[in-house]
Structure 1
């Protein structure tokens, strides 16, 4: 098959600026390209050539200002068997006009079929023109067919994945070396490390986690909280909310560290030095990819019961799901429980790693996606 993936206009692929969709595309394309002809279309970036080939995948970059028109022109000239559009249902109509013979697959990574995002008429037309609608979680699937019942037969959940080769649990020889090296670099020796990785925005809940510190250090004064991220992908400018986090963090300066945007290639090392990973999202998150990364690194997860996040957590096996997600004490409760029981931390981490190997490798994700195409 000749397959083209169309990324959103936000960030480039390869994912040099980060982004869950961008990482997803690069990773599944590398596997699928072993058997099929694969092209990825995305926005231009000064650090990327307009056309290149990597790992058997062709990358073509178009200007941000005229992104969709340039894609339309490309599809007018080049025929594909499968056109896979990422997260932009409103593009389906225009793309169908030029890709008349292609099977159109739409992957939905957010609540793109909500009333404020798409009209009922446009939603129905999009569903009619697509062969399959792939969602990153069951939660996102329900947001589509609860409003558009006719979509239910077309919707299929294909969970995202993780590159298992780049994550090294600390019980492995390489993981132990990375753990020691990063902890030394950050001034963390025998401390117990709580890790947060994500955008520093209110919806992600880092402020909730900061408020949990007093309850944690009362029981575990050796605890340290490390926040990795910035206000937006690769943008380290400090806005009002980030400044607020820094101010609160300064009240606990011996217990909190902030690390700004980190290139995706460096993220695995930070997970390797963590004891617990916390996703304190306050919004209905589709399903944050950091869950897959924490599992791959063998780190137990504490996540909020929001959106699709709980779908990959087996409560008390690879982590805990926090029902009272806006309550700092609810996170402190589970963090303290794990810090009190190191053998449980390791047991959960090992279970998570095994789960990632069985269910969330990129080979598994690519195979699941191919099965959708082949249908």
Structure 2
């Protein structure tokens, strides 16, 4: 057997391990790279953050944290020209991928996009973005929605696009409808003084596009019919920081009349966030924006918790309407969101059935092993195939 191919993975930030206080992009890399390391020689490159050492390891994979600013590209190039990787996979930075491809003509360069953020007009004009996307050997995205959205925005694009859905570590999540899951849940509810509460959960960034205000607007009608309901909101406006934004302050004003039934909890690092899924009866994902994938959906499914979500972006590729959860049209959140929450809170049988179906779907389709295997195949094959 020949020598393993060399693959350089370029992260968008300082590669923080564990990734609990990083963006989800770092978590994706943290999960798939060690699984791929038996088949590929991999090195990770990212920005120095001023706290972590310049060199570290993710399992046996070297991580280099380089000085940012004007010297960043030159620093990466110095490393890559010395190591001579076969392939470079740049995450979420089209301009960096473009610069590296121009200066490393013998290496294949992929651009992995996790959302539309860095190809949107607010990031840079489309006339500048298209040449960057055309320059690389292949694009990798996490949903068919994101692939279709790229083609809609850049219909002349000829660069091959591979879809590689994200995953979940089943072992990090205790399934809600198991003996251990139920015992753990009851003990934790008692610790909080929430005995017999039915927990509606939101986990994520507190941004207008995530739609938490919709959830707070319908919650009073849920409480009218379901006296034991409780809304737990876990997250903050910023990654790893619990500073309040204007939007968060507005959310807290909406919640003010229901003090004992609406709880705001700060950002919880991964994998401790699994404890909150275990408490939940339902996860609500009322996103109104371009949700390319949404790891919370597969994390809830791994926890055997049904999902009530808007059917936007890549969410319909994860949540099976009527099987693992309920999908709603963004235009019908009022009263559809409240009605769907009530429907599930009133039927333990439906919650149990959807939760178990979600856990099984996560097992067979959405594990990090699946994501890693597909990524290895993409790295190994000719992108023109």
Residue 356 (structure 1) aligned with residue 367 (structure 2): no
Q: Residues 180-204 of structure 1, C-alpha deviation per residue, up to 9 Å, x if partnerless?
A: 3432333222111001000111111
- Is 214-223 or 62-71 further displaced after alignment? 62-71
**Matched residue, 1:63:** 67
What TM-score do the two structures reach when normalised by structure 2? 0.91
**Matched residue, 2:22:** 18
Distance change in 2, residues 1:269/1:93 (3 Å): same
- Is 253-262 or 317-326 further displaced after alignment? 317-326
**Matched residue, 1:172:** 178
Q: Residues 244-286 of structure 1, C-alpha deviation per residue, up to 9 Å, x if partnerless?
A: 2122222111211111011112111110110100011121221
Distance change in 2, residues 1:3/1:87 (3 Å): same
What are the equivalent positions in structure 2 for 1:32-47 lying under 5 Å apart? Answer: 32-47=36-51
What TM-score do the two structures reach when normalised by structure 1? 0.94
Distance 2:235 2:150 in 1: 30
Q: What displacement does 1:56 show?
A: 1.8
Please say if residues 20 and 271 of structure 2, whose CA atoms lie closer than 8 Å, have aligned partners that are also in contact: no
Residue from 83, 86, 91 that aligns with 2:88: 83
Q: Residues 103-145 of structure 1, C-alpha deviation per residue, up to 9 Å, x if partnerless?
A: 1111111113334434455434333332221111111111211
Residue from 301, 316, 320 that aligns with 2:307: 301
Residue 105 (structure 1) aligned with residue 105 (structure 2): no
Q: Residues 23-45 of structure 1, C-alpha deviation per residue, up to 9 Å, x if partnerless?
A: 10000001001222111112223
Q: What displacement does 1:171 show?
A: 2.3
Residue from 101, 116, 131 that aligns with 1:96: 101
Please say if residues 13 and 40 of structure 1, whose CA atoms lie closer than 8 Å, have aligned partners that are also in contact: no
Q: Residues 227-259 of structure 1, C-alpha deviation per residue, up to 9 Å, x if partnerless?
A: 000111111111221112122222111211111
What are the equivalent positions in structure 2 for 1:269-308 lying under 5 Å apart? Answer: 269-308=275-314
Distance 2:78 2:31 in 1: 26
**Matched residue, 2:225:** 219
Distance 2:321 2:86 in 1: 41
Please say if residues 39 and 376 of structure 2, whose CA atoms lie closer than 8 Å, have aligned partners that are also in contact: no
Please say if residues 305 and 358 of structure 2, whose CA atoms lie closer than 8 Å, have aligned partners that are also in contact: yes
SS across alignment from 1:226: strand
What are the equivalent positions in structure 2 for 1:212-291 lying under 5 Å apart? Answer: 212-291=218-297
Residue 371 (structure 1) aligned with residue 377 (structure 2): yes
Q: What displacement does 1:165 show?
A: 0.8
- Is 331-340 or 170-179 further displaced after alignment? 170-179
Residue from 134, 147, 154 that aligns with 1:148: 154
**Which segments of 5 or more consecutive residues in structure 1 lack a partner in the other structure?**
none
**Which segments of 5 or more consecutive residues in structure 2 lack a partner in the other structure?**
none
- Is 133-142 or 240-249 further displaced after alignment? 240-249
Distance 1:148 1:202 in 2: 27
Distance change in 2, residues 1:241/1:213 (3 Å): same
**Matched residue, 2:352:** 346
Please say if residues 328 and 336 of structure 2, whose CA atoms lie closer than 8 Å, have aligned partners that are also in contact: yes
SS across alignment from 1:265: coil
Residue 198 (structure 1) aligned with residue 223 (structure 2): no
**Matched residue, 2:78:** 73
Q: CA RMSD in A?
A: 2.0
Residue 136 (structure 1) aligned with residue 142 (structure 2): yes
- Is 71-80 or 337-346 further displaced after alignment? 71-80
Q: What displacement does 1:293 show?
A: 0.5
- Is 91-100 or 331-340 further displaced after alignment? 91-100
